[in-house]
Amino acid sequence: MDSTVSSRLYEHALRIIPGGVNSPVRACRSVGRDPLFIRRAKGSKIYDADGREYLDFVASWGPMVLGHADDRVVAAIKDAAVNGTSFGAPTELEVKMAQTIVDAVPSVEMVRMVNSGTEATMSAIRLARGYTGRDLVVKFDGCYHGHADGLLVKAGSGLATFGIPGSPGVPDDVCKNTLSLPYNDTAAFEACMRQAGARIAAVIVEPIAGNMGVVPPADGFLETLRRHTRETGALLIFDEVITGFRVGWGGAQERFGIRPDLTCLGKIIGGGLPVGAFGGRQEIMRRMAPEGDIYQAGTLSGNPLAMAAGLATLDVLMGADVYETLDRKSTLFWNGMKECVKEAGIPAVVNAVGSMGALFFTSDPVTDFVGAMRSDRERFARYYSLMLDRGVYLAPSAYEASFISMAHCESDLERAWDAFRDSLRRLS
């Protein structure tokens, strides 16, 4: 493909931005391509700086559940911007957003807005430690909870893509307070809680892992986390930055019927603008300053443009049968992919929950990080290029999710299947 403008932009960016990108996976190094620079997007389509159209399944890594530049969301942003872009003071919009989240998410009685998923998880961990008076945090291999120091231990997302076990610059004294266990391994978790339960402040988990591809929770796994945290006094934190308002109105916790103590949100609640939030029971959240003694702050928290975009998005998602329609469309698409894999006779697995899914080039079921890492990265890189050359835009990593939006229509799905079928044929 001739990417003259993208190539020129990338060459310039490499001189003034580390790696030429502002988030590592965007560099596309694991798939052997230079990144495409994007100029605009609308609905299910995205357009690069050279004017080419692609069918988009990245959805800005999850937020664009309605599709790109939805007219209702754009109008809400414009209306808010006319009144000012930031005040550093409370607004009615953030109160409306807080009430919407409290009404929607089963476990949340109070919520605080922040500016990113990383801020949300970092703040929730601090709150859990302050509330319990304990230091240890349990996470799970391949789950990514942002780039705060203590949460980079055996993380997914970009760390999995680049094969980095952690990061220089993270002190050993920080890492020693993070225990990372195999995802979906109830026996390992129970052993950990028997040994260290009284010292554990929090257990944080993606209820549906979305940063090592997509890995659903095994039967009983989340229930086991809930039971043992309750018994030991540790707090259970659901990282629903991806799954919140993606797999259902009340998120994964509503889908699976599990109520954590704290919930982290992001992506969709900002309608595509920078956002994050964390919330939970009142008795825990009231420990936050200025009401309590646990400090957290943010100049742009509750930004009026992000609140307006998020509320406009949630208003659409609140409509009757929206999630049923999205799930029906998504199930059709993932099942179509599975049929294409079967026809091609290639060792591959499709994992999906609702409108998020992933393809792994392995013959074995993928139920944890070890299984995800068995996926053939070389084959994925070839597959990525084949799909891109056919006008289908995917995440440039074997360990990221793909997303269906309300904007994807039947002809979009058929176009993607055709590209998928042809790409698999060329891989075999």
**Has 239 been annotated as catalytic?**
yes
Torsion of Cα atoms, 206 then 58 then 303 then 151, to 10°? 30
Neighbours of 358 (CB within 10 A): 24
> Tell me, what's the pLDDT at 152?
67
For the purposes of burial, counting CB atoms within 10 Å of the CB of 51, is it exposed (0-12), middle (13-18) or buried (19 or more)? exposed
Give dist(CA 409, CA 59) in Å, integer. Answer: 15
Catalytic residue selected from 56, 141, 239, 376:
239
Angle formed by the axes of helices 71-82 and 304-317, nearest 10°? 150
**Has 135 been annotated as catalytic?**
no
Give dist(CA 400, CA 404) in Å, integer. Answer: 14
Give dist(CA 405, CA 423) in Å, integer. Answer: 23
**Has 144 been annotated as catalytic?**
yes
> Tell me, what's the pLDDT at 163?
43
Could you report the average pLDDT of every consecutive run of 10 residues in the chain (428 residues)?
85 96 89 94 97 97 98 98 97 98 97 97 97 95 84 54 55 80 96 95 97 96 98 98 98 97 98 98 98 96 98 96 97 97 96 98 96 95 96 94 97 97 93
Give dist(CA 105, CA 98) in Å, integer. Answer: 11
> Tell me, what's the pLDDT at 167?
61
- H or E segment to which residue 237 belongs: strand 235-239
Burial 348-357 (b: 16+ CB within 10 A, else e): bbbbbbbbbb
Flag whether the pTM goes above 0.85. Answer: yes
Catalytic residue selected from 47, 144, 323, 384:
144
Catalytic residue selected from 261, 267, 376, 393:
267
